[in-house]
């Protein structure tokens, strides 16, 4: 484009100058944008507190600077407080206590904590909220795995598999005996569930093909979905008294802490089997031991204890009618990988200021 009113030579020179100026301005704009973009894209820092399935760390590494405690064993508290300094996101497990001390050690950059668990009593939600730190957890993705393990533990306990395996191994297995190692069966039984949430419902559905005659449950409120399997919503005492199998599927809260105590066990049938795959803190373990030894209840199966790991000198481990597993309810490859991935997605969403897929609020 030529500029009118000037000599051709001058007009050409002016036009070239203008073009050069426009090109220079464009270059400055482009370079400035690049600088601004680079500044904005400085990767946030995330610390992972344990060796976890690859899907989560891989997702985080695509957008963040990630450091990790590369061990199957828990990180020490002292080391954890050091490692979290200056991080923007924290990927943790149940073994890490996320409290005011840790949050303050992390500092003001911390925007989100993702726990690779469905339980979150190790996280001080109030302290997080006070500091504007979002918290994510991993419900739903482990429901089927926990339900499978709950049914497995129920069957192992009621059908006395621990005693049977021991008899094979120590040579006490003799001739076939009509009354030997008999236990209660599910066919025609009443199953009581304390906490008819996602896992409680999944357990009930898994148990239906075994011929369970009746499902009863107790919760804070009636759960409409429970009607799909014909489960009856009853007062707690009625559930306890009527159940042949009593399953703890509730969260650990101030209301449920220690609720399975001697008073409760005394209300159960002395032929009943108690199963806990929720949290160890809902059970008074000394009372459970006494109930099992005295015959208040027939047997118990636990996947969770207090503390974890359970000391090898625990009297519960000496009982034939108590089966204890090392907190492996979600231990399938599929579930643990999905938990790792969801934890990473929660963290990334929190770092970007987006809605966290599975957020916990105080």
Instruction: Say if residue 274 is in the same domain as residue 312.
Output: yes
Number of domains in the chain: 2
Query: Within a domain: residue 2?
Result: no
Q: Which of 327, 336, 339, 347 is catalytic?
A: 327
pLDDT 10s digits, 235-258? 999 999 999 999 999 999 999 999
Query: Within a domain: residue 251?
Result: yes
State the residue for tokens 């429901």. 143
32-41, 204-213, 248-257, 309-318: segment of lowest average pLDDT: 32-41
Instruction: Say if residue 188 is in the same domain as residue 313.
Output: yes
pLDDT 10s digits, 302-321? 999 999 999 999 999 999 99
Instruction: Say if residue 314 is in the same domain as residue 166.
Output: yes
Query: Within a domain: residue 201?
Result: yes
- Average pLDDT value for residue range 258-278: 98
How would you label 63-98 residue by residue, b for 16+ Cβ within 10 Å and e otherwise? bbebebbeeeeebeeeebeebbeebbbbbbbbebeb
Q: What is the pTM of this model?
A: 0.85
Instruction: Say if residue 267 is in the same domain as residue 218.
Output: yes
- Average pLDDT value for residue range 15-21: 40
Query: Within a domain: residue 258?
Result: yes
pLDDT of residue 338 exceeding 80: yes
Q: In Å, how far from its chain's centre is CA 227?
A: 26
The token pair at 227 is 């009607």
Rounded to whole angstroms, the Cα distance separating 147 from 199 reads: 6
Residue 160 sits at φ, ψ, to 5 deg, of 60, 45
3-state secondary structure of 193: strand
Instruction: Say if residue 345 is in the same domain as residue 307.
Output: no
Query: Within a domain: residue 30?
Result: no
Instruction: Say if residue 191 is in the same domain as residue 311.
Output: yes
pLDDT of residue 96 exceeding 90: yes
Rounded to whole angstroms, the Cα distance separating 146 from 260 reads: 20
- CATH no. for residue 106? 3.40.50.720
Rounded to whole angstroms, the Cα distance separating 191 from 212 reads: 7
Instruction: Say if residue 264 is in the same domain as residue 315.
Output: yes
327 is catalytic: yes
Instruction: Say if residue 217 is in the same domain as residue 292.
Output: yes
Instruction: Say if residue 226 is in the same domain as residue 256.
Output: yes
Query: Within a domain: residue 145?
Result: no
Residue 221's Cβ-count burial label (10 Å; 0-12, 13-18, 19+) is: exposed
Instruction: Say if residue 165 is in the same domain as residue 308.
Output: yes
Other CB atoms within 10 Å distance of the CB of residue 4 = 5
Instruction: Say if residue 308 is in the same domain as residue 341.
Output: no
In the structure, what pLDDT confidence band is assigned to residue 28 with cuts at 50, 70 and 90?
very low
Is residue 185 within 8 A of residue 213, CB to CB? The reply is: no
Query: Within a domain: residue 232?
Result: yes
Is residue 73 within 8 A of residue 83, CB to CB? The reply is: no
Instruction: Say if residue 166 is in the same domain as residue 312.
Output: yes
Which residue range(s) make up the domain with 76? 45-139+334-360
Query: Within a domain: residue 120?
Result: yes
Other CB atoms within 10 Å distance of the CB of residue 334 = 13
11-20, 45-54, 265-274: segment of lowest average pLDDT: 11-20
pLDDT at 40: 54
pLDDT of residue 27 exceeding 90: no
């Amino acid at each position: 484009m030529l500029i009118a009113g000037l000599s051709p030579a001058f007009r050409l020179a002016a036009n070239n100058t203008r073009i050069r100026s426009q090109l220079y301005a464009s270059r400055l704009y482009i370079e400035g944008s690049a600088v601004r973009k680079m500044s904005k894209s400085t990767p946030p820092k995330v610390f992972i507190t344990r060796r976890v399935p690859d899907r989560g760390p891989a997702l985080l590494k695509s957008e963040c600077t990630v450091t990790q405690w590369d061990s199957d064993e828990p990180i020490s508290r002292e080391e954890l407080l050091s490692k979290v300094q200056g991080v923007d996101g924290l990927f943790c497990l149940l073994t890490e206590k996320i409290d005011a001390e840790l949050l303050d050690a992390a500092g003001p950059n911390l925007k989100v904590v993702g726990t690779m668990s469905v339980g979150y009593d190790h996280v001080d939600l109030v302290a997080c909220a006070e500091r504007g730190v979002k918290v994510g957890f991993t419900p739903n993705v482990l429901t089927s795995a926990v339900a499978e393990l709950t049914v497995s533990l129920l069957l192992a306990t009621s059908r006395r598999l621990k005693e049977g395996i021991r008899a094979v191994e120590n040579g006490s297995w003799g001739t076939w005996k009509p009354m030997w190692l008999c236990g209660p069966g599910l066919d025609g039984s009443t199953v009581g569930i304390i906490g008819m949430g996602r896992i409680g419902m999944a357990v009930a559905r898994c148990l239906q093909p075994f011929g369970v005659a009746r499902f009863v449950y107790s919760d804070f409120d009636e759960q409409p979905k429970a009607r799909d399997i014909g489960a009856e919503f009853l007062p707690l005492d009625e559930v306890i008294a009527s159940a042949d199998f009593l399953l703890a599927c509730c969260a650990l809260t101030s209301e449920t802490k220690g609720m399975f105590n001697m008073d409760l066990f005394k209300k159960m049938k002395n032929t009943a089997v108690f199963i806990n795959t929720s949290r160890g803190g809902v059970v008074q373990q000394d009372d459970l031991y006494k109930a099992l030894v005295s015959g208040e209840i027939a047997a118990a199966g636990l996947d969770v204890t207090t503390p974890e790991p359970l000391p090898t000198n625990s009297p519960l481990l000496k009982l034939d009618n108590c089966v204890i597993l090392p907190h492996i309810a979600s231990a399938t490859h599929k579930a643990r990988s999905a938990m790792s991935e969801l934890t990473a997605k929660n963290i990334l969403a929190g770092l970007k200021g987006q809605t966290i897929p599975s957020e916990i609020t105080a």
